Structure 1
Amino acid sequence: QNTGQVNLIAETVRAIGVPIDFVITAQQARAYKPDHRLFQHAYDTMGVAKEETLHVGMGQVTDMKVCQELGIRSVWIDRVGEPLAPRWQPHAVLNDLTELPQLLSAP
């Protein structure tokens, strides 16, 4: 692996400040968003089905469109008040990640 990419990912994971069970890169999957193979590689690596996951992302084409195509539950992080394409509606829209824990713990 590229040492620069590994260091960048390690720094990002540390900055998040919560335990991360899996770090899966596009380089490992040999597929880049919005390629569906990246998502399948992630599910295979984690040993889960898409129904057991919630995808959180800020890209319309790279995240929300793919989630709609694959039937993945999603949360869109809309940091700038951007209009979202109606056909790619996520399950929730948040301004940032601060409300995500509350969303995840809701019944």
Structure 2
Amino acid sequence: MKQLHHPDRNDIQLASVLYALSDPVRLYVVSEIRKHGAQACNCFKVPIAKSTLTHHSRTLREAGVVYTQVQGTQRILSLRTEDLDERFPGLLDSVLKAYEMSEPGEGFGEQEQVAEEQG
């Protein structure tokens, strides 16, 4: 089985975390994990292809935002809250608070339109 790379706490870079959190889909995924706890990738209701969600999950994992645990054929995502708070105190809370105060589903409209055009 392929070993998934997770950066060590001290190797998590601010620019990588901010980049990972800059996409509306990834921000939604992080918000859902924060609200409901660790979840399998197929639990997220996003208007994108499965392969695209895999890409987003990988981006979050490689940035150090989430931890991915392999359970059979599923990938369970959990937030690395403790690591992020240690490296960048208050960052995750601030970003998620701003996201949750924004319009529900903000940023998904464009992606739904693209998905409809492709499908």
Greater RCO structure (CA 8 Å; 6+ sep) = 2
TM-score w.r.t. structure 1 length?
0.29
- TM-score with structure 2 length normalisation? 0.27
